[in-house]
Structure 1
Amino acid sequence: MRGNVMKKNYLAVAVLAALTSTSQQAMAQTQDIERIEVVGSYFNGYQVDNASGATRTDTSLLETAQAVTVIPELIMDEQLATTLGSVLANDASLSPGSKQRNREVFYSRGFALSSSTGYLRDGHQHWSHYQQPIETLSSVEVIKGPSSILYGQSAPGGLVNMVTKKPTERRLFDLSADTDQNGSTRFMLDAGGALTEDLSYRGILVKQDVVYDREYHNGEQRERDRFLGSIALAYQVSENLSVDVYYDQTDDKAGLDTGAWLDSDGDLIGDEKTIYDFSWAFTDIRVNNIGGNATYHFNPQWTVKLGYNQQNFERQRFESAPRKPADYAEGDSYTSQYYDRYDDWQFKTAYVDFTGEFATGDIEHQVLIGMNSLDYYYEQRRTTPVAVDYTPGQPEPLKPDISYKSDDSLYISEYDYYGFYFQDLVTINDEWQLVFGGRFDQQNREGADSESFVPKLGALYHPNEDATIYLSYSEGFEPASSETLNDENDANHGMALDAVTSEQIELGAKWQVSDRLMVETAIFDIKKSGALVTESLDGGSGADTITTQSGLQRHKGIELSAQGAVNDRLFLMASSMYLDAEYEKDDTYQGMTPVDAPEWSASIWSRYEVTEKLALNAGLFYQGERYADSENTVTKDAYTRVDFGATYQAEISGIPVDYRFNIENLLDTDYLAGGGVNNVTVGGGRMARFEVRASF
C-alpha cells in the first residue's frame, strides 16, 4: 500500500510540473489570443441574484417568496470540493447524515432528503443514490421547504437542485491536478468554445483516485477509483429557437465502509480508523444521463421550454455486511452476512413549461403553466446472505465465491407520475407582489394509485427596491406505497392510505445591503402529517394493534445568512440556523427529536484578497449536539471544524496558472459527523491538499 501511495504522489507531482511548464507551441497559440484582465470584480461570484429551480422562471431572489441558497462554482473551486457534502456544508440548514456504502445522506431543516425525490438536476428529478459528479456543476441551489407544486412528490425540508455547466461560445481550456497528503489524486480537463457560428460545446473529463484514512482489519486502506466524462452541445437553430443535448457517464468503484460504531454514551468504539467491513467488499456503479432541451421564444413576452432526461444507474454491491451486537465492546466478535447484489434503476423525466408576461390594467403578471412527468423502473438480483462470525485479530476471511447472477428470481418495482402546475407572480405596484399557484398530481403504481393537489400562496412587500419582506404558505406530499393497510392482526386492516403531507408557513426578509451583498432571514414552521401510528390493543377486540394515519412531526426554526462582498477585499458566505424538531404525535417516538437534527448549526466561508494575485480563505463549520438514534438515548457532541486556504495567481509564458493550497480541519479536531450508532461517519483529521490549474 505504501508503494502505491508513493507512486500516486510521484505521478501527481509530474503532472503538476507539466501543467506549470509551457511549450513553445502553446506560447505561439496564446500570443494571438486577446486577454482581458479582470481584477477584484471577478470574485463578485460569491453573490447570486436568482435561482431558476425555485420558481422555474427567471425571477430574482428579491421576488422569490421562499428561502433559497445558491452555492456558486467559485466557492466549490476555492474549497477544492470533491463531493456534494463538501458543497452543502456551506448552508447551515443542511446537516450531514450517513456516508456508508460510498453515498451521502443529507437532512434539510431536519427532514431527510430521499434519494428519489430530494434532488434535481437542471429541474429534473434526479436519482441520487451515489456521490454526485460535482465537477459538472456551475452552482447548487438549496430550495427550502415543501416544493411539490413544481416538482411533485418531495420531502418537507426542500430540494437540492444541481445546475450543470453549459456550453460556452468563449474559448475555454482548463487543465488541473490536485493531490492530498494521503496520495489521493484528481486530474481534470474542462473545455468549451464555439465549433461554428451557431454551435458551441462543453466537455469535462475527470480521473480521480482516493486513498482514505480508515483501514480494514488486514491493514489495507480504503480506496476509490472514479472516472467522469461529460459532453454538451448547444445549437442556435434560429433567432427564436435554441436546442441543447448532453451525455455524461460516471464510473465509480470503491471499497465498502459502512461506518464506525458508538457505545451507549455516544463514544467511538475502538480506533477511529477501523473499518468493520472486509477489504474485498466493494460497490461498483455506472451512471449515465442523456437528454436535451429546447427553448422557443414566440415573442419577447412568451416562451416555451421542453426538456427530457434519461438516467440509467447500474450498481453491484459485494457486501460483507457487518452487524453491530447490542452490547459490543472493542475486540468482541461480530457477525458478517455476505451477499452479492445487483441493482438497476431507470429514471425518465420530461417537462414542458410555458412562461409569459402580460398586464391587466396596471397589474403585471408573470405566469408559468407546465407539466412534468417521471417514469421509474427498478430491478434487483441478489444472493441469500450467509452469516459468518469474526473476531478482530484473526485473519480476514477469504472473499466468498458467490454471485448475484445465480439468482433466478427478479424483483421489479415500477411506477410513473405526472403533474400539471400553474403559478402567477402578480405585481400590483412597486411595493406589493402576490404569488399563487397549484399542482394536480397523478401517481400510477400497482396497488397504490393516488391523486394529490397542493397549493402555494405568498405575499411580498418591498419597502424599497433593495429589500423584501414576504409571507408564504406551501405544501408537499409523498404518496403511500400501497392503497390500503395490509395487516390482518390490525383493527384497521384494509384501511385506505392517503399520501403523507406537509405544510409550511414561512416569514422572511431579504436585503440587498449593497450591489454585492445580500442578507436574508427566515422563520419557518413545517408540519409533516399522515405518518402511520400503531398502538397496541388489549386483545378484547380480536386485534393486536390499531393503526391510524395520524402521525405528526413538526420542525420550527429561524435562519440567518449573508452572501457577497463586504468590501473590495473581503467576500463571504455565512449562514446559521436554530431548529426545534420534534415528533409531536408518534406511538414510538412521541416527544423525541429526529436523528442528525442539531438545535444549532452555522457555517462561514470567506475570502480576503491580500493583493491582486494572492488571496486567503478561512472557513468555520459548526454542528451542534445531535442524537444518533431515534430513541434519543445516544448523543453526539457538538463540533467546530476550521479550514484554511490560499490561492496564488501567476502567469508563465503568457499562460495563467493558479496555485491553491488548502488545509481541512486545521486544528485537527476530533468529531463525529452524520450517521447513527452503527454507521456513524468519523470526521477526518487535518488534511492538506494542493492544486495547480492552468488556463490555455
Structure 2
Amino acid sequence: MKQQQWILRPLVKALCAAGITVLAGSVLASDAALLQEVEVVGATEADQARNAGDWLGRDSRAATKTTTPLNELAQSVSVVTQAQIEAQMPKTVVQALNYSAGAYSGLYGSATRYDYVALRGFADTSMANTVLDGLRLMSDAGSFSAFQVDPYFIERVDLVRGPMSVLYGNAAPGGMVALMSKKPQMERHSEVRVDVGTNNERALGFDFTGGLTETLSYRLTGMGRAADSMQDHASEERLALMPQLMWKPSADTALLLQAYLQNDPKGGYHSGTPFEGSVTEHAGRKVSREFFDGEPDNDQFDREQRMVGYQFAHRFNPTWEFRQNLRYTRSDINLEQVYQSGWSDDTHLSRGYSFSNEKLNGLAVDTRMQGVLATGPLLHDVVFGVDYQTRENEGYWGWGSVGEINAFNPIYRQHSIEDKAQSNWIREFRQLGFYLQDQVSVGAWRFTGGVRYDRARTSSLDTDTAISTDWDGSETSTRVGALYLFENGLAPYMSYSESFDPSSNTDQNGQVLRPTRGKQWEAGLKYQPNPRTLFTAAVYDLDQTNLARMVPGESYFDPVGAVNSRGLELESHFAVTENVHLMAAYTYNKMSIQNGVPNEDGNRPRQSPQQLASAWINYTPVTGARIGGGARYIGKSYADLANTLIVPDVTVFDLSASVDLGIWWGSMKGASVQINAQNLFDKDYVASCYDEKYCYFGNARSVTTSLKYAW
C-alpha cells in the first residue's frame, strides 16, 4: 500500500467525520487547559492553579471527557499531580503509578523500554492502554512498536480503572492511563535541570514557556538522558523535544499546535532469567541480577517517535462548546537481541537470536461537543461525538540460534549467529466510533449513562506468501452509573461498564484473534470531608473473554480463554497538617482463569500479584524544604498457570528530599537541589515472571541528584 494513499484516506474520513459533527451541532468536552471554564461546567482556572501545587487532584477530565470532581464520579479514579511527579521524579510514566491502587508496574522488572502497567490484574495489553491529551497512543500491542512519553513532559496522570470503551473505543478491561502534557502559559517561566545518579546516569532538561503576543503563547520542553542499565553491557539513551504554540484570538476560541519528537538510540536491557536460578537456586546457585544473557555486539534497540497534531476548542455560548483533537504518529524500530532460552546443564543457558524492523504510522482524531441543558429538575451535561483511529505497522521479524553461555561466569564474543529466518508482514487496524454520554444531576444524585457504536477492522498480511487474515465487525459498548453525594462528604456509588479491544495479533494457525470483551460491575464509597482529604473504597467484578498471550520466543499467541477479576481497592489522600500530606493505597485482587483446561482452570494468571500496598508521607518542615518517604509492598504471584511456582512477596522503600536554595541564600534565588532514592535498602528481588523461563529482577537501589534553576 502506498504511503500517500494510506495517509490520505484516513484524513478524508476524519475531516468528513468532523464536518458531520459540526453540522449536527452538538457534542461536549470541557478542559481548562485550552479554554477558561465557565461556572456552570466546572472549576475555574484559579482552582486549577491551586491544584497544580497540591498532592490531591480534585477532578478528572479523562474519566468522562468533562471536568468532573473526583467525589462525583461513579468509578474509581486516581490522579498523580504535578507536585507528586516533581517530588518522586519517576524515570517512566508507570513508575509514577507506584503509589496508586489497582496498578502494578513491575511486570518486566527493571526494564524501562515500554510503559508496562497491569490494571486490575490484566497484563495482556499492558503497554498499549495509554492516552495522551485525550487521544490514544497508537501502539501496536503484540509487536515492538509501542509509544512511550517521558514523564518530564507530563503535567499529570489520571489512572482510570475499569472498562473505558464508551468514550475511547478499543480499550483494555482493567482501565487506562491518561496523560496530560505540559501546556503553554502566558506567564513567562524558564527552567534548566541537571541530573546525575547511579548507573552513570546523566541528564539535562529544559522547559521554557511564556507569551509572545496578546494572543500567542509558546512552550518548548526538551531533555537528553543517558544511563547504564542494572545489567552489564546494556545502556539507555534518550533525546526528546516538545515544541508547542497556543493561539487564543478570544476567550472562547483556542488552537494548540503540538509536536513530540523522541529518539531512543539505546533501549536498555529487556530479557529475563529462568525461575530456577532467579527465584530459586539452580544447581545450588542463583544468577546475579547484573547478569547479561546477550552479546554486546548483537544487542540493539533503536526507536524514533514522531507525533504532530492539534487541539482546537470553540465555545459558542456559556453552555455549548466544540472540540477537535487530532494527532498523527510515526515510529521506526530496529531491534537486535540475543536472549537465553532455558538451562542446558548446571551452568549454561541455551540462547536464541531475534531481530526486527518495524515502521508504524497512525492517526487518531476525536470530534465532539459538550452542552449543559435542563429538563425540569434535571441538569444534563451531555457529550456526543465521533472518533476515528487507524494504524498500519509494516516490518519483519527474524530468528536465529547462538551458542550457549555460562550464567555464572559469562564469556562473550565466542559464538556466531546461525540459522537465520525472516517473516515479513503488514498489520492494520481501523476503528470508527460514535458515542453519546449524559451526566445528570438532580439534587444530590449524580447519574451517568453512555453508549457507543464501533465499526472496526483488523488484519494481518504475510507478504512472503500473500496470505491475509482479518476480523471485520461492529460492537456496541455501554456504561451506566449512579452516585449520591451526602452533605457530610460521603458518596456511595454503583456502576456498570464494558470494554471492546480488537487486535491484529494472530494465533498459531495465522488467524487474527477475536476482539476481547470486558464487562464490569463496581460499587464504592468516597469520602471528602474537606478539599485536601479524600478517601475512596471500591469493589469490582470484572470478566474478560477471548484473552490470549504471546508464546515466548514465538510470533504467535495462545488463547487463554476467559478471566475473572474481583477485588478491593482502598486509597486515601490525607492532609494531616498544613505541612504533612499522607497518601496510602491497598489492592486485593482475586483472578481466575476460566478455560476448562486441567491444572489451569480456576487458577491465577501469571504476572498478577494478589495484593499491593503502598504509603507515602510528604513533610515540609520549613518553607523551601521538603522530605518524603514511602514503602511499597508487592504480594506473591505465580510463574506458571498451574500455580506451583511462587514469586515471593517483597517490600521496598523510596526516599525524596529537596531544598530551595534561594530561601536560604538570596544570591541563589531560583536554584534548588533534590535527591531521590528508589529501593533505598537495595533489596534484591524478582518482580514477576512471564513463565518458567523468563523472570525479571526488580530495580536495584538507584540514587539521583537533581539541580534545577528557574527564572
Q: TM-score, with normalisation over the residues of structure 1?
A: 0.84
Tell me which residue corresponds to 1:121.
132
Q: Which of the residues 253, 256, 259 maps onto 1:244? A: 256
Pair 1:573-2:560 in alignment: no
Distance 1:502 1:660 in 2: 43
Amino-acid identity (%): 23
Q: Which of the residues 476, 479, 483 maps onto 2:502? A: 479
Rate the CA distance shift 1:236–1:118 in 2: closer, same or farther, 3 A. same
Tell me which residue corresponds to 2:222.
205
CA deviation vs aligned residue, 1:495-523 (integer Å, no higher than 9, x gap)? x9864321111111111122211111111
1:84-123 correspondence to structure 2 within 5 Å:
84-95=93-104, 96-98=106-108, 102-112=113-123, 114=125, 117-123=128-134
Pair 1:528-2:555 in alignment: no
Q: 1:233 is matched by which residue type in structure 2?
A: L
Shift of 1:205: 1.2
Rate the CA distance shift 1:498–1:274 in 2: closer, same or farther, 3 A. closer
Distance 2:127 2:559 in 1: 23
1:626-645 correspondence to structure 2 within 5 Å:
626-645=637-656
Tell me which residue corresponds to 2:462.
none
Q: Which of the residues 342, 345, 350 maps onto 2:365? A: 350
Shift of 1:479: 3.0
Q: 1:688 is matched by which residue type in structure 2?
A: V
Pair 1:231-2:247 in alignment: no
Pair 1:385-2:423 in alignment: no
Pair 1:680-2:695 in alignment: yes
Tell me which residue corresponds to 1:191.
208
Q: 1:223 is matched by which residue type in structure 2?
A: S
Tell me which residue corresponds to 2:710.
695
**Paired residues of 1:71 and 1:90 also in contact (CA < 8 A):** no
CA deviation vs aligned residue, 1:642-696 (integer Å, no higher than 9, x gap)? 1122111121426222111222222222221134343333223333221111111
Distance 2:363 2:419 in 1: 29
Tell me which residue corresponds to 1:443.
456
Q: 2:535 is matched by which residue type in structure 1?
A: V
Between stretches 288-297 and 640-649, larger displacement belongs to: 640-649
1:16-35 correspondence to structure 2 within 5 Å:
none
Distance 2:157 2:580 in 1: 22
Tell me which residue corresponds to 1:301.
319
Tell me which residue corresponds to 1:552.
562
Q: 1:46 is matched by which residue type in structure 2?
A: W
Shift of 1:133: 1.1
Rate the CA distance shift 1:668–1:347 in 2: closer, same or farther, 3 A. same
Pair 1:510-2:521 in alignment: no
Tell me which residue corresponds to 1:258.
271
**Unpaired segments of 5 or more residues in structure 1?**
1-39, 216-220, 489-493, 534-547
Q: 1:84 is matched by which residue type in structure 2?
A: V
| SS of equivalent residue, structure 1 residue 643 | strand
1:538-687 correspondence to structure 2 within 5 Å:
551-587=561-597, 589-651=600-662, 652-653=666-667, 655-676=669-690, 677-687=692-702
| SS of equivalent residue, structure 2 residue 86 | helix
Tell me which residue corresponds to 2:23.
none
| SS of equivalent residue, structure 1 residue 46 | coil
Distance 2:370 2:301 in 1: 43
Between stretches 378-387 and 466-475, larger displacement belongs to: 378-387
Tell me which residue corresponds to 2:75.
66
Rate the CA distance shift 1:625–1:413 in 2: closer, same or farther, 3 A. same
Distance 2:504 2:259 in 1: 32
Between stretches 360-369 and 259-268, larger displacement belongs to: 259-268
Rate the CA distance shift 1:655–1:619 in 2: closer, same or farther, 3 A. same
1:149-160 correspondence to structure 2 within 5 Å:
149-160=166-177
**Paired residues of 1:257 and 1:276 also in contact (CA < 8 A):** no
Q: 1:142 is matched by which residue type in structure 2?
A: L
**Paired residues of 1:265 and 1:635 also in contact (CA < 8 A):** no
Between stretches 309-318 and 562-571, larger displacement belongs to: 562-571
Shift of 1:185: 0.9
Distance 2:122 2:345 in 1: 30
Rate the CA distance shift 1:626–1:410 in 2: closer, same or farther, 3 A. closer
Rate the CA distance shift 1:213–1:115 in 2: closer, same or farther, 3 A. closer
Distance 1:97 1:550 in 2: 18
Distance 1:520 1:101 in 2: 30
Q: 2:267 is matched by which residue type in structure 1?
A: A
Between stretches 71-80 and 677-686, larger displacement belongs to: 677-686
Tell me which residue corresponds to 2:11.
none
**Paired residues of 2:279 and 2:686 also in contact (CA < 8 A):** no
Tell me which residue corresponds to 2:431.
417
Distance 2:571 2:398 in 1: 49
Rate the CA distance shift 1:385–1:78 in 2: closer, same or farther, 3 A. same
**Paired residues of 2:80 and 2:158 also in contact (CA < 8 A):** yes
**Unpaired segments of 5 or more residues in structure 2?**
1-48, 140-145, 460-469, 550-557
Rate the CA distance shift 1:171–1:593 in 2: closer, same or farther, 3 A. same
Q: Which of the residues 190, 209, 213 maps onto 1:173? A: 190
**Paired residues of 2:231 and 2:269 also in contact (CA < 8 A):** no
| SS of equivalent residue, structure 2 residue 317 | coil
| SS of equivalent residue, structure 2 residue 84 | helix
Shift of 1:148: 0.7
Rate the CA distance shift 1:400–1:234 in 2: closer, same or farther, 3 A. farther
**Paired residues of 1:264 and 1:633 also in contact (CA < 8 A):** no
CA deviation vs aligned residue, 1:190-210 (integer Å, no higher than 9, x gap)? 110111111111111111111
Pair 1:341-2:350 in alignment: no
Pair 1:291-2:309 in alignment: yes
Rate the CA distance shift 1:77–1:674 in 2: closer, same or farther, 3 A. farther
Rate the CA distance shift 1:346–1:674 in 2: closer, same or farther, 3 A. farther
Q: 1:309 is matched by which residue type in structure 2?
A: R
Q: 2:676 is matched by which residue type in structure 1?
A: N
Distance 1:497 1:84 in 2: 29
Pair 1:54-2:70 in alignment: no
**Paired residues of 1:113 and 1:157 also in contact (CA < 8 A):** no
**Paired residues of 1:98 and 1:104 also in contact (CA < 8 A):** no
1:423-438 correspondence to structure 2 within 5 Å:
423-429=437-443, 431-438=444-451
Distance 2:439 2:181 in 1: 26
Tell me which residue corresponds to 1:28.
none
Task: Name the Cα RMSD after superposition.
Answer: 2.9
Q: 2:337 is matched by which residue type in structure 1?
A: E
Tell me which residue corresponds to 1:362.
377
Shift of 1:261: 2.8
Q: 1:224 is matched by which residue type in structure 2?
A: E
Distance 1:456 1:685 in 2: 42
| SS of equivalent residue, structure 2 residue 275 | coil
Tell me which residue corresponds to 1:136.
153
**Paired residues of 1:265 and 1:634 also in contact (CA < 8 A):** no
| SS of equivalent residue, structure 1 residue 150 | helix
Tell me which residue corresponds to 2:46.
none
CA deviation vs aligned residue, 1:133-185 (integer Å, no higher than 9, x gap)? 11110011111011111111211101111111111111110111111133211
Rate the CA distance shift 1:403–1:376 in 2: closer, same or farther, 3 A. farther
**Paired residues of 1:98 and 1:105 also in contact (CA < 8 A):** yes
Distance 1:481 1:377 in 2: 10
Tell me which residue corresponds to 2:481.
458
Q: 2:271 is matched by which residue type in structure 1?
A: T
CA deviation vs aligned residue, 1:19-66 (integer Å, no higher than 9, x gap)? xxxxxxxxxxxxxxxxxxxxx988851011111110011111122111
Q: 1:524 is matched by which residue type in structure 2?
A: Y
**Paired residues of 1:646 and 1:660 also in contact (CA < 8 A):** yes
| SS of equivalent residue, structure 1 residue 321 | strand
**Paired residues of 2:102 and 2:119 also in contact (CA < 8 A):** yes
